[in-house]
């Protein structure tokens, strides 16, 4: 399936049905009075967060979504039926914004969350609504109200706790396949990863977190080099970034420190808030470095990179050091989740006596 994380759609809720002008016609009832019913409500358009979806590809080929109008009112006090609603299933993490102004209207952040994105028009009033003591034979009615029509932009930002950041071939896909059940394509050439991959890492019973692997970033991405920075939006909702560095590049002329600094610079150009997120340094492919040279090479890298945060030394291929990394990530994510919880106000009547 093609990965699509941006789409434009037109939604139109249904118009309300018109009211009816009608009078009772019965034997022996010369003045039966008005009995025209109201029109029915037009169909609403809803957006539903479906955890089984992970792409907006359905909306790339189906742009127009229009609900039906309500039925018109009828005589004999009969109201028109309301039209059926339309429910558009979207991936969790979808942002719905106005295509013209760019204003963010809704966000689908919880599985099963249902939001009305276009309201159907109310039905018009029939003449029985206008009956009064001085107007016993009203001939007034009102048309149905129009439904809302909107041009919307859908943007998907995957919901993950941890994001992997690094140059192509830094070992991001290998790492996510080593610590989770995700099976992204892995090869020894750049840009193997062409779209984000999500993996659930199981730490223990009822203990897990989600990792997002995005295509590699290279110097000049802000100007469109490589795959550009179009997929960095998927890291904006993460709680932690792992900066993977290939400590044993195939080309001896490549300086890992210069590459790492270029990644940080591109991150800062793209989004200052993303740059300020907690970022850990993960030095990968240590299995390619002789055991007696590892400590010196790691120390030299950290010193030249001028990094003072947590440093992890791993080999995603042999899984050396991965367990320690996973445990540290889970503790960090869990601590942030606890800090983000809104305290529940306790009714003072039921509070325990101090």
DSSP state of 261: H
Bridge pairing between strands 45-50 and 114-118: antiparallel
Q: How many other C-beta atoms lie within 10 A of the C-beta of residue 262?
A: 17
The torsion defined by the Cα of 250, 255, 258 and 264, in degrees rounded to 10, comes to 30
Rounded CA-CA distance 254/285 in Å is 15
Edge to edge, the sheet with strand 64-66 lists 64-66, 6-12, 149-156, 94-98, 104-107
φ, ψ at 323 (rounded to 5°): -65, -45
Residue ranges for the known binding site are 166-173, 191-195, 213-216, 284-287, 315-317
Residues of each annotated binding site for Mg(2+): 173, 193
Q: Which residues contact 171 (CB under 8 A, 6 or more apart)?
A: 244, 246, 284, 285, 316, 317
Tokens 């995700």 sit on residue: 182
Tokens of 348: 């003072």
Q: How far apart are CA 328 and CA 331, in angstroms?
A: 5
Joined together, the tokens standing for residue 84 give 């059926």
What's the gap between Cα 108 and its chain centre? 6
Q: Note the helical H segments in the chain.
A: 57-61, 172-179, 256-270, 272-275, 291-305, 322-340
Spatial CA neighbour of 249 closest among 263, 260, 265: 260
The residues with which 49 forms a beta bridge, in sequence order, are: 90
Q: Residues comprising the binding site for GTP?
A: 166-173, 191-195, 213-216, 284-287, 315-317
The secondary structure of 29-83 as a DSSP string is BS---B-PPPPPPPPPEEEEEETT----HHHHH--EEEPPPPPPPBTTTBPPPPP
């Amino acid at each position: 399936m093609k990965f699509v994380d941006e789409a434009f759609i037109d939604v139109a809720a249904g118009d309300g049905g018109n009211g009816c002008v009608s009078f009772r016609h019965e034997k022996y009832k010369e003045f039966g009075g008005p009995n025209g019913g109201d029109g029915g409500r037009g169909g609403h358009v809803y957006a539903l967060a479906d955890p089984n979806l992970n792409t907006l590809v359905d909306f790339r080929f189906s742009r127009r979504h229009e609900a039906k109008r309500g039925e018109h009112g009828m005589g004999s006090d009969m109201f028109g039926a309301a039209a059926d609603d339309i429910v558009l299933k979207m991936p969790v993490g979808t942002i719905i914004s106005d295509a013209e102004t760019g204003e963010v209207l809704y966000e689908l952040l919880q599985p099963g969350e249902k939001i009305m994105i276009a309201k159907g028009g109310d039905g018009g009033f029939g003449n029985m609504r206008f009956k009064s003591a001085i107007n016993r034979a009203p001939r007034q009615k009102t048309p149905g109200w129009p439904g809302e029509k909107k041009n919307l932009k859908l943007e998907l930002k995957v919901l993950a706790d941890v994001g992997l950041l690094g140059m192509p071939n830094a070992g991001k896909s290998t790492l996510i396949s080593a610590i989770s059940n995700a099976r992204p394509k892995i090869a020894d050439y750049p840009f193997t990863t062409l779209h984000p991959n999500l993996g659930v890492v199981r730490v223990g019973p009822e203990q897990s977190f989600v990792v997002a692997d995005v295509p590699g970033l290279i110097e000049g991405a802000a100007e469109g080099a490589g795959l550009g920075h179009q997929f960095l939006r998927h890291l904006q909702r993460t709680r932690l970034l792992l900066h993977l560095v290939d400590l044993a590049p195939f080309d001896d002329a490549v300086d890992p420190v210069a590459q790492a600094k270029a990644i940080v610079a591109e991150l800062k150009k793209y989004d200052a808030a993303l740059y300020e997120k907690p970022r850990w340094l993960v030095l990968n492919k240590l299995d390619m470095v002789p055991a007696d040279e590892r400590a010196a090479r790691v120390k030299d890298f950290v010193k030249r990179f001028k990094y003072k945060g947590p440093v992890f030394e791993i080999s995603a291929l042999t899984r050396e050091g991965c367990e320690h990394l996973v445990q540290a990530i889970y503790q960090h994510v869990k601590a942030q989740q606890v800090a983000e919880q809104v305290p529940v106000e306790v009714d003072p009547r039921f509070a325990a006596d101090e």
